[in-house]
Amino acid sequence: MKIGVLGTGAVGQTIATKLVELGHDVMLGSRTASNEKAAGWAKTAGSKGRAGTFEQTGAASDVVFNCTLGAGALEALHMAKEANLAGKVVVDVSNPLDSSKGMPPTLLVSNTDSLGEQIQRAFPKSKVVKTLNTMWCGIMVNPRMLGDSHVNFVSGNDAGAKTTVKTLLKSFGWRDEELVDLGDITAARGQESWLQLWLRIYGATKNGAFNIKIVAGKPA
């Protein structure tokens, strides 16, 4: 599959590397053609990995992962061009974190809206699927690094797009029963608000290499 990854930070590089390992043709996209992090990644990624601008990445890809910082996500996607993304699956991994007011970060959008919804509204012809944003990137692509089962949430308005994304996630090592479909893209409010608790747990435990398991009893 031709897959684009927008964002050259730890999340973008980690996902791009995993996708190359799985045999996909991957372009790591950034704001400028001369981005050194993207070029550095492409050098080590082998023949399946290339670097490009956001626009080149949007044009070259059938599925696009948004791994940019939340504050810049909409701008990055606009640079990838709406026409390039039309009809395509956009996997939104970003979080609308605002670190400008001190630590831990707050959210730029929350409660009655979410970044996932903002992206879907801004790109109505794309099929936005929110997933993977609830954990550290090392776990995203290597879920079996944890010694117990745990969950990854999926939301989006298009059932077919969610099926495509779940298939990719299973190729990362996620088990079918670990993928919890929360419904339409408004569930991104829940997925993103989780960061508020994630950040507090991280602050208390000093270990970001964790995720959550849902422990259920008999329905009440």
- The token duo for 99 is 């670190």
Looking only at residues 22 through 41 of this chain, which bind a second copy when binding is defined by CB under 8 A? none
Q: What values do phi and psi take at 149, rounded to 5? A: -70, 160
What type of residue is 151? V
Q: Nearer Cβ to a second copy, position 47 or 214?
A: 214
| 205 touching a second copy, by CB under 8 A | yes
**146: CB partners within 8 A, 6+ apart:** 139, 209, 210, 211
Place of tokens 């791009």: 16
Q: Nearer Cβ to a second copy, position 47 or 219?
A: 219
Cβ 93 vs Cβ 16: under 8 Å: no
Q: Burial, 136: exposed, middle or buried (Cβ in 10 Å; 0-12, 13-18, 19+)?
A: middle
Q: Nearer Cβ to a second copy, position 81 or 106?
A: 106
- Which string of x and - marks every residue 147-176 that binds a second copy (by CB under 8 A)? xxxx--x-x---------------------
Q: Nearer Cβ to a second copy, position 23 or 203?
A: 203
Q: Which residues bind a second copy (CB under 8 A)?
A: 101, 106-107, 110-112, 136, 138-139, 145-150, 153, 155, 180-183, 187, 189-191, 193-194, 196-201, 203-220
